Structure 1
C-alpha cells in the first residue's frame, strides 16, 4: 500500500511540476506564447522580460507554490503515520525532484519547459525553510548587485547545500546535503547557455526599475 502511494505521489508531483504556468498565463491574459519571444524559455525570468513585472511575479509565485505543494505531499504520509520523519524527508526530496523535472520537461507542453529555479525554490522552502530564506537573500543580493537572474540562481542554489554542509542550522540529514549538490548540478546544466553568455559578457540584465537615461 505504501509503495503504491509513493508512486502515485511521485506521478502527481511530476504532473503538478509540469503545469506550464508561463505559457498558459501568457496565452490566457496576453495572447502571447512566451516561448516565441525573449529567450524562448517558458519560465518566470522570460515572463518578466516579455510580459512585465506583474506577470513575472505571478508566474514566479505559482511555480514556487507547485514545487512546495509537490514536496509537501510527503507530509500526508507522515501525518498519516505511514512513514517516520527521516523517511518523510527522503520522500520530500523524491517528490520535489519529480516536480522540478516536471517543470523542466513538462508533459503538457511537449517536454519543453523552464529551468526549474522557481519550482526548486518551492521545494527548498518545504524541505528546509530556514536555509531557503537565506538562499533567497543571497539571490536578491547577487541579482540587485549585478542584475543577472541566472547568476543569482546559480549562486543561491549552491549556497543551499553549502549552508547545510557547514551545519549553519545544526546537524542535517546527509541525504538532504547530497541532494542539494545534485540539484545545484541540475541548475548548472539548465543554465549552461547562460553561463557561456555570462563568461562572454553577453547575458541580458534585468532591472526592477527602469534605467535612467
Structure 2
C-alpha cells in the first residue's frame, strides 16, 4: 500500500508544480498572456515586467506556495505513518524536485514552463527555512546592485549548499542536502544559460526593485 501512495504523491507534486500561475493569473485578471510580451517566459519575473509589481508579487508568492506545499507532502505522509521519520528529508527532496520539474516542464503548457526559481524557494523553505531566508537576502542584495534577476537567482541558489557545507551553524547531518544543493545550482545555471549570455553581451533586461530617482 505504501508504494502506490508514494507514487500518487509524486504525481500530485508534479501537478502542483505544473500549475501555470503566471499564465492563468494574467489571462483571468488582465486578459494578457505573458508569453506574448517581455521575455516570453511564463514565470514570475516576466510577470513583474509585463503586468507590474502587484501581479508579479502575487504570482511569485503562489509559485513559492507550490514548492512549499508539494515538498510538505512528505511531512503529511510521515504524520500518516506512510513514511518513516528518518526518510523525511529524502522524500522532501523527491517531492520538491518533482514540483520544480513540473514548473519547468508543465503538462498544462505542453511542457514549456518557467525557470522554477520561486517554486524552488518554496521547496528550500520547507527543507531548511533559515538557510533559505538567507539565500533570499543574498538574491535581493544582488538584484538591487546588479538589477539582474537571473544573476541573483543563480548566486542565491549557490548559497544554499555553500552555507550548509561551510557555515558551522548550518552544517547538516544529511550529506544528500549538500549534494542536492550543488546539483540544483547546475540546473539553475542550465535554465538561465540564455540569461547569462545576455548579461555577458549587455542585453539582459534589468529589473529595478528600487526605482532610480529621475
Structure 2 equivalent of residue 182 of structure 1: 183
TM-score, normalized by length of structure 2?
0.96
2:199 aligned with 1:207: no
Structure 1 equivalent of residue 76 of structure 2: 76
Distance 2:124 2:102 in 1: 16
Structure 2 equivalent of residue 5 of structure 1: 5
Distance 2:154 2:108 in 1: 26
Structure 1 position 38, deviation (Å): 0.3
Unaligned runs of 5+ in 2: none
> Is 1:77–1:88's contact at 8 Å kept on the other side of the alignment?
no
Distance 2:122 2:60 in 1: 10
Structure 2 equivalent of residue 193 of structure 1: 194
TM-score, normalized by length of structure 1?
0.97
Distance 2:79 2:124 in 1: 20
> Is 1:164–1:172's contact at 8 Å kept on the other side of the alignment?
no
Number of paired residues? 213
Residues 147-181 of structure 1 show CA distances to partners (whole Å, capped at 9, x for unaligned) of 11000000000000111111441333011111111
Moved over 6 A (4+): none
> Is 1:12–1:70's contact at 8 Å kept on the other side of the alignment?
yes
Distance 2:17 2:134 in 1: 24
Structure 1 position 188, deviation (Å): 0.6
> Is 1:148–1:205's contact at 8 Å kept on the other side of the alignment?
yes
